[in-house]
């Protein structure tokens, strides 16, 4: 069996299952306390992965915000921030995106074979560009990340990326936050798309924790035998 990192999917969604609305502006679904919780989870990971559309739409920094958590990582011998990772078939990402311009840590782009050369020319100065297959194969991506020393991977969306990690059975844990709003617009991106998910009526996922955080609720699901939900800190579910 190919080694892969312990993989934790993190997502905030509306009551009706949307990740965002259909407007160009980012919809803030969570609250300050939950953003801080996510920061703690980030601080416990080796790499954070998002889809290229999330970079284009949200322009996220994907850094650990808390100075104390950054210092604790350094004290453990780690970089202040996790490695940033993205996947793209088109390489239609700009070098000016905050994904590349913020933080001193490593950035890795898994690119489709046909665009890998062009991606290296365009983004090779700001990131490591890796040919991920055509289309990019997430099994190959996660195996490559493990080979680079990534033991814990946090996947922060969007929906197309979450769908693939789930349907390809590459996820060990899901941390799903439900915000008390409806989006009510089918043009908006959903948490997941259609697919053949391993968890259905005959194979229910394990609900490990329900936590109220102000006006949102965190649902933690165990998705594999590697999940260990007994702890509550950022290192929960360490793979065996
Ligand atoms: N609420 C939350 O927690 C949260 C978190 C993150 C994002 N979001 C929202 O989610 C939305 C974006 O989600 P999304 O589903 O549209 O997109 P996404 O999952 O962020 O990214 C999809 C893109 O990633 C690349 N990609 C994914 N899998 C690939 C593969 N196997 N091979 C090659 N390329 C691959 C492709 O990029 P190319 O098109 O470049 O080829 C694809 O278009 C945004 O509105 C954002 O605000 C919400």
What are the E-state strand segments in 106-205? 107-111, 128-131, 152-155, 173-179
Q: From ligand 1's centre to the CA of 170, what distance in Å? A: 17
Q: 168 φ, ψ to 5°?
A: -90, 10
Structure tokens at 233: 């800190």
Encode pLDDT of 99-152 as tens digits.
999 999 999 999 999 999 999 999 999 999 999 999 999 999 999 999 999 999
Structure tokens at 128: 């490591």
Local confidence band at 234 (pLDDT 50, 70, 90 cut-offs): very low
Task: Return the best residue to mutate from 15, 37, 51, 60 for the ligand 1 pocket (most ligand atoms within 8 A of CB).
Answer: 51
| Residue 89 to residue 114: CA distance in whole angstroms | 8
The residues facing 179 across adjacent strands are 14
Q: Is the CB of 193 under 6 A from ligand 1?
A: no
Which H/E stretch holds residue 14?
strand 6-14
Asked if the model's pLDDT at residue 237 lies above 60, the reply is no
Q: Is the CB of 135 under 6 A from ligand 1?
A: yes
Structure tokens at 125: 């100065």
Local confidence band at 188 (pLDDT 50, 70, 90 cut-offs): very high
User: In angstroms, what CA-CA distances link 84 with 25, 29, 64, 210, 216?
Assistant: 23, 22, 11, 28, 27
| Residue 237 to residue 222: CA distance in whole angstroms | 8
Atom 34 (ligand 1) nearest CA: 88
- Which atom of ligand 1 lies nearest, measured to the CA of 188? 45
Q: From ligand 1's centre to the CA of 54, what distance in Å? A: 5
Q: Is the CB of 113 under 6 A from ligand 1?
A: no
Encode pLDDT of 45-86 as tens digits.
999 999 999 999 999 999 999 999 999 999 999 999 999 999
Asked if the model's pLDDT at residue 181 lies above 90, the reply is yes
Residue 181: closest CA among 31, 50, 54: 31
| Residue 9 to residue 108: CA distance in whole angstroms | 18
Give me the pLDDT at residue 99, please.
98
Local confidence band at 2 (pLDDT 50, 70, 90 cut-offs): confident
- Which atom of ligand 1 lies nearest, measured to the CA of 89? 41
Give me the pLDDT at residue 132, please.
96
Strands of the sheet containing 47-51, edge to edge, are 128-131, 107-111, 83-88, 47-51, 152-155, 6-14, 173-179, 216-222, 206-213
Q: From ligand 1's centre to the CA of 89, what distance in Å? A: 11
Q: Is the CB of 26 under 6 A from ligand 1?
A: yes
Q: Is the CB of 234 under 6 A from ligand 1?
A: no
Please, what's the largest Cα pairwise distance for the chain?
48
Give me the pLDDT at residue 228, please.
76
Q: Is the CB of 158 under 6 A from ligand 1?
A: yes
| Percent above pLDDT 70 for the chain | 95
Residue 154: closest CA among 57, 77, 41: 41
CB distance 183 to 142 below 8 Å: no
CA-only gyration radius of the chain, Å = 17
């Amino acid at each position: 069996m190919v080694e892969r990192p312990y993989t934790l999917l993190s997502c905030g969604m509306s009551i009706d299952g949307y990740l965002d609305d259909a407007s160009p502006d980012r919809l803030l679904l969570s609250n300050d306390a939950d953003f801080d919780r996510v920061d703690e989870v980030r601080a416990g990971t080796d790499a954070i992965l998002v889809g290229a559309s999330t970079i284009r739409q949200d322009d996220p920094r994907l850094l650990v915000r808390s100075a104390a958590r950054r210092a604790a990582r350094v004290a453990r011998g780690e970089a202040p921030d996790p490695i940033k990772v993205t996947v793209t078939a088109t390489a239609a990402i700009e070098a000016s995106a905050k994904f590349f311009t913020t933080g001193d840590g490593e950035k890795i782009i898994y690119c489709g074979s046909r665009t890998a050369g062009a991606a290296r020319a365009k983004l090779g100065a700001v990131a490591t560009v890796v040919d991920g297959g055509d289309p990019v194969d997430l099994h190959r991506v996660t195996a490559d990340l493990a080979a680079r020393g990534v033991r814990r991977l946090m996947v922060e969306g969007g929906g197309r990326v979450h769908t693939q990690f789930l349907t390809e059975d590459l996820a060990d844990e899901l941390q799903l936050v439900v915000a008390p709003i409806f989006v009510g617009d089918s043009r908006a991106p959903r948490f997941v798309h259609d697919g053949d998910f391993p968890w259905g009526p005959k194979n229910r996922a394990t609900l490990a924790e329900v936590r109220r955080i102000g006006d949102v609720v965190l649902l933690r699901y165990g998705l594999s035998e590697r999940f260990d939900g007994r702890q509550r800190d950022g290192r929960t579910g360490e793979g065996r």
